Chain A
Amino acid sequence: MRLRLAAAAALALTLTACTPSTSSPSSAPSDGGARTGTLKVWLFDEPNRAPKEAVVNDAIAEFTAAHPDTKVDLAYIAVDTRSERFKGAFNDPASAPDVVEYGNTDLPEYAAAGGLADLGPAVTAWPEGADLGADARASATYQGTLLGVPWYVGVRALYYRTDVFTELGLKAPTSQAELVEAAHTVRAKKPDLFGVAVGGKYTFGALPFVWDAGGDIASINSAQSRAGLKAYTDLIKPDNCPPQQCADLTGGKTVELFASGKAGMAIIGNFNRAAVDAGAAKGKYAVVPLPGTKPGSIAPAFAGGNNLGIMRNSQRPALAADFLTLLAGKKYQARMYDAMGNLPTLKSARAEVAGKDPFLQPFLATIDAGTKFVPLDPGWGKIDAAAVLPTMIEKVATGKATVEQATDEAATAIDAALGS
């Protein structure tokens, strides 16, 4: 009898659970929710977190002092597993945070999942909101809705070894042809160095070449994109960076190579400065914008960066907006630059840090010359996950496919992902 009951119970359980679980989107309280209580905040963990933590802790102290009876419950989440954490938070509103830091390339995916709240009204009401540039606002806008406040941006430029360049009588390249020539010279004269460290898995190192040639991700098999890709993959050759060593390098690996003194040049971000200074290259390098094909021009860089946003399920959106605008304000953006080297997004804060640090000049020049972005489409997540662009670069670099074949193949995958 007991067994029969158990069987019946198991059967009932199976039947009631027949449809896959879907969390119903709960809407945030329209009055802004409670002004007291615990605010849950997720920020990204960093390789060297202590300086970030110190700044954020000061912001929390300032916030709780101004908002009685509030507490901030802060968690640092790993960047590698952020996708799972965010998906989990979207699926289980009860355990979701209120304020989140997220990568700007993740925006469309999160937006399509309906996970982020509209920040338009909150940013309009925020006095410093007007200081946010139009390009910054656009990078956090999805289908007309502002879903985040850009917290910092990061761009890549060309780091080069001043000691090696002086020894070989080279000068900082101002065009792509000069870059290639300098790379070949370094490799030829110093065979234990790579000319310019480039990698098959380094998408954001390759894209500036494609963009500079007039191509784009959405038209990766156009003649312009192909020319740009060829310029990049021609660098993954024995006379600069042999495919044996460079075909599977990631962006992070090229940073390591340059930092440890194994490369004459590398395409590295302003946010990697600490990593380079921790290596053998410390004090022996300078930075110029990555040159384009036209002499004197700058190849468009990818505008990476992180946004701060509010989860749509947040029960305290007004309180969350207060904390977000505090953390995204000029004071803490400038302090985050001092702590982490994160480039501010507010124009006044950027002008302030640019004034006191000449290191930033090439990066700011790169931003001023115009930056590019990955397609603002949830399909980008799929292109990224399926490693479409690295596969394309690696196929060409290893000679497994011609530029034409590899780009056609990638275009098919990209069209399918963006079309869905």
Chain B
Amino acid sequence: MTTVVAEPHDRLRPRRRTWTPWWLLLPAVVILGALFGYPMGQLGLLSVLDFRQAQVSGGQPTRFLGLANYARIFGDPQFWSVLSATVLFAAACVVATLAVGAGLAVLLTRISKWPRLLLSLAAMAAWAVPAVSGSTVWMFLFDTDLGLVNQTLGLDGVNWMYDRYSAFALVGAVVVWHSFPFVMVTLYAGIEAIPGSVLEAAAIDGASTWRTFWQIMVPILRPLLAIVVIQSIIWDFKVFTQIYVMTRGGGIAGQNLTLNVWAYQQAFAAGEYGLGAAIGVVMMVILLVVTLLYLRTLRRTGEPL
């Protein structure tokens, strides 16, 4: 940042000018610093303390523990199995969300006005439904004895939550259902902004739809895709409501626990705020690393962001 190679005519300007961006950024930095820096600092601080309900209400003194909370997390075999389940589940959800969202975005550009309006409305409705209500409705649909799905398919008495993978698949479907509209709308806006002449030229050159999508649209949409992917990764990695509601807090024998539900169960429901803060820090670091790696690979492929 500091070693800026100035353009020739810039050399004549006074040095003071390099401070202008900083002044302009300052209000944002102050507000973001207060709104993000403070809670994050507190999170980090709590994660190294013995801070339980008894400490919050002043029944016992707060003690400094160093990294003991972290040692407890990393030493817990359940953490590792929950972490791997979360990563795989989130990855599957991200891929499915993007596939559905991108597919429907392309579809939106190709259909006439009324179907487009209907599809948009349906997607908006899915987007607008609160996660708890949406999950509950899906639960009704897939209820073991009285659900519409089981009755229609004649699968009486089949419990979709009994098998670990069918439970994850069902919850994943709900997560995708909740999050594909954002991807669809964003990409649809992006596709609409692609100059018609480019697509026309591709069509004249005889490119198929498939090829146009991968070789024209995707490169042009790359910045948008980056945002959509990062958003999806963050959302799906942090999934809580759908798992908590649909698997009643982690499924049979905890088979459907994800990191956030596990953290809630281990730490917050039990009043172990220090431990919970440490899990929060671990999750934040994982997300940060994943996001940075993703941005880096994007840069490597030559597209500046």
Contact = CB atoms under 8 A, between A and B. Distances in A.
A248 B163 CA distance: 11
Interface string A240-265: 00111101101000000000000000
Interface stretch (A68-76, A276-284, A365-373, A381-389): A381-389
B258 to A, nearest CB: 15
A85 interface: no
Contact of A387 (B41, B58, B60, B249): B249
Given A91-B57, A113-B59, A244 B41 contact: no
Contacts of B56: 20-23, 87, 90-91, 113
A381 B49 CA distance: 20
A7 B54 contact: no
Contacts of A13: 34, 38
Given A3-B23, A10-B30, A13-B34, A395 B270 contact: no
Interface string A182-211: 000000000000000000110000000000
A248 B248 contact: yes
Contacts of B53: 87, 90, 109, 112-113
Given A10-B30, A381-B271, A391-B253, A245 B54 contact: no
B219 interface: no
B157 A395 contact: no
A169 B142 CA distance: 37
B18 interface: no
Interface in A25-51: 25
B33 interface: yes
Nearest to B51: A20
Contacts, number: 125
A7 to B, nearest CB: 5
Nearest to B250: A387
A289 interface: no
Given A18-B45, A245-B159, A112 B252 contact: no
B168 to A, nearest CB: 15
Interface in B49-95: 49, 51, 53-60, 62
B171 to A, nearest CB: 14
Interface residues of A, number: 45
Contacts of B265: 385-387
A109 B265 CA distance: 16
B57 A244 contact: no
B248 A114 contact: no
A24 B34 contact: no
Most buried by B among A18, A387, A394: A387
Contacts of B27: 3, 6
A382 B53 CA distance: 11
A391 B59 CA distance: 31
Given A7-B30, A114-B57, A387 B271 contact: no
Nearest to A246: B159
A114 B252 contact: no
Contact of B26 (A3, A90, A400): A3
B157 A245 contact: yes
A398 B54 contact: no
B50 to A, nearest CB: 10
A246 to B, nearest CB: 9
Contacts of B60: 112, 114
B266 interface: yes
A113 B49 contact: no
A394 B162 CA distance: 11
B254 A387 contact: yes
Most buried by B among A20, A83, A90, A387: A20
B158 interface: yes
B197 interface: no
A17 B38 CA distance: 9
A385 B269 contact: yes
B240 to A, nearest CB: 15
A378 interface: yes
A394 B158 contact: no
Contacts of A83: 269, 271
B243 to A, nearest CB: 14
B244 to A, nearest CB: 12
Contacts of B239: none
Given A114-B59, A248-B248, A20 B46 contact: yes
B166 to A, nearest CB: 11
B42 interface: yes
A386 B276 CA distance: 13
Contacts of A394: 252-253
Interface in B14-40: 23, 26-27, 30, 33-34, 37-38
A390 B53 CA distance: 24
A14 B271 contact: no
A115 interface: yes
Contacts of A17: 38, 42
Contacts of A382: 270-272
Nearest to A381: B270
B12 to A, nearest CB: 28
Contacts of A18: 45
Interface string B232-265: 0000000000000000111111110000000001
A243 B58 contact: no
B278 to A, nearest CB: 14
B248 A386 contact: no
B57 A113 contact: yes
B54 A14 contact: no
Contacts of A242: 157
Contact of A112 (B34, B46, B59, B253): B59
Nearest to B167: A248
Contacts of B145: 245
28 contacts: A13-B38, A14-B37, A20-B45, A20-B51, A22-B62, A23-B57, A87-B56, A109-B271, A113-B57, A114-B54, A114-B59, A115-B59, A242-B157, A243-B162, A244-B158, A244-B159, A245-B144, A245-B157, A248-B162, A250-B248, A381-B270, A382-B270, A385-B266, A386-B270, A387-B249, A391-B254, A398-B162, A398-B253
Given A6-B27, A243-B162, 11 more contacts: A3-B27, A20-B51, A21-B56, A23-B58, A90-B57, A109-B53, A114-B60, A244-B158, A387-B249, A387-B250, A394-B253
